[in-house]
Amino acid sequence: MLRRAKCLHGVIPGHGSLGQLQSTSRYRSYRKINSADDDGRRKREEGQDGYLQLHKSKGQHLLTNQRILDSIVRKSAIKPTDTVLEIGPGTGNLTLKLLEAAKSVVAVEIDRRMVEVLQKRVAECGVQDRLTVICKDALKAEFPPFDIVVANIPYGISSPLVAKLVYGARSFRSATLLLQKEFARRLMAKPGDSEFNRLAVNVKLVANVEFVMDVSKREFVPCPKVDSSVVIIRPKAEVLNVNLDEWWAFTKACFGNKNKTLGATFKQKKKVMELLRLFKLAGSDGETDNYICSNDDNGDGGESDDEELSSSSCLEMGASSFKEKLMGVLKSADFEDKRPSKLSNEELLHLLALFNQAGIYFHDQSKSRNAEKESFSVAYS
C-alpha cells in the first residue's frame, strides 16, 4: 500500500524501485530521514542506498496517479511530430508518458539527482534518444525550439515561468501546466473578480487560459499543503499592436496597489517624478520646459499624504503641473475614480493610448521585463 506522509518531505525509494513506482503507484517504503544520522542522510540524499530525499524548497512533489498523468497527456493534444518542453521532470513520471506521445522531449530540471534517476528510467525503456535533458534553472535556461509545453511545475516559480513562456522569444502552440489551484484561479480571473491582478492582465493580453481539471493534493508524494489545477495556456494568434515592454511597465504602474483608484495611484509623488523624468527624456511635445521649472503652479500643495506631491521646490512646481497633466488624461475618459482591478485589457489599452497621445510614456527603469521575468520574487502579488 502507498504510504503517504502528511505534508512532510522525506525520502522515496530511488533508482531500483522507481520503475515500480511508475508502473504500480506503490512504494514499499517511504520514510523520514533520521536527522541525527548525517552520514546516512548524505548517502540517502545522493541516492547511494537507493533513496532520494525530496526537497520542499524545490517544490518536489511527485505526481503518481497514472490516470491523472494520462489525462494531462491526452488533454495536451500532443502530435507525434511534436517536441515537448517539460519543466521539472523530477523522476520522470510524466516524461515517460510524454515520450510515448511525442517525437521528442526537452526536459529542464534543476536537480542533478533527479536528472540521474530520470535518465536511468528513460534508458531502461530504451527511449533515451528522444530525450534531451537540460540540467539548469528553468528561469535561466535558454529554451531550444519546442512545439508545446506540458509540465507539473515547481509552484515557487509559477509567475516568472508563465511570464517567460508567454512573453518569451519562442512561439508555441500551447502550455498544459499543473499549477497551484489558487494561482490557476488568478490566471483565469476576469476584471472585477477578487483574484484579478496584474498577472491575469499581462497573460490575457497575449494568451487565452482554459481550465482543465482540479487535482487533489492527495495525488502527490509527498502531499503538499495546497490543491492543484491543470490549465492550458494558448498564445493568441494575433497580439494587439502594443509595445510589450511599455505595456509591462504601464501595468506595473497601474497595479502598484490594484485596489487604489488610478487617480490616487498617479498622484503619488514617486510616480509623478518618475513619469516626469521619462517625459523630459522623451522631450516629446515641446512643453517640456513647463515641467522643468514652471510658474503656473496652482498652489495645489494641500495634499497631506507624505507620498503625494508637495510644492516646495522649483522641480516640484514643475512636477505639480505635470501631475495636473496626468490627472487631465485620466479625467478625459473618466478613469480617475476607476480601479485597475476592474478594468478590461481594452480599457487599459485605451488609457495607455491616451497617455501616449499626451506624450507620456512608460518604461520600467528599475528592471527590464526580462530581468523581472527571471526573478524569483513574486512579481504579481
Within 140-169, which residues bind ligand SAM (CB under 6 A)? 152, 154, 157
User: How does 327-346 read in b/e, with b if 16+ C-beta sit within 10 Å?
Assistant: bebbeeeebbebbbbebebe
Binding residue (CB under 6 A) for ligand SAM from 83, 93, 197, 202:
93
Provide the residue count of the chain: 381
- In this complex, which beta carbon is closest to ligand SAM, that of residue 138 or of residue 199? 138
Output the smallest distance, CB 377 to ligand SAM, in A: 14
> What strands lie across the sheet with 228-235, from one edge to the other?
131-134, 104-108, 83-87, 148-152, 174-180, 228-235, 207-215
- In this complex, which beta carbon is closest to ligand SAM, that of residue 13 or of residue 89? 89
- Is residue 370 annotated as involved in ligand binding? no
10 Å CB burial of residue 46 (0-12, 13-18, 19+) is: middle
Q: Binding of ligand SAM at residue 87 (CB under 6 A)?
A: yes
- In this complex, which beta carbon is closest to ligand SAM, that of residue 14 or of residue 88? 88
Within 30-69, which residues bind ligand SAM (CB under 6 A)? 58-63
> Residue 9: which of 52, 49, 48 has the closest Cα?
52
Output the smallest distance, CB 281 to ligand SAM, in A: 36
Binding residue (CB under 6 A) for ligand SAM from 127, 139, 354, 358:
139
In sequence order, which ranges of the chain are alpha helices (DSSP H)? 15-24, 38-45, 66-75, 93-101, 112-124, 158-166, 181-188, 198-206, 244-254, 262-267, 269-282, 288-292, 314-332, 345-357, 369-374
- Is residue 63 annotated as involved in ligand binding? yes
Q: Binding of ligand SAM at residue 18 (CB under 6 A)?
A: no
- Is residue 137 annotated as involved in ligand binding? yes
Binding residues: 61, 63, 88, 109, 137, 152
Binding residues for S-adenosyl-L-methionine: 61, 63, 88, 109, 137, 152
Q: Report the interface residues with ligand SAM, using CB under 6 A.
A: 58-63, 87-90, 93-94, 108-111, 114, 137-139, 152, 154, 157
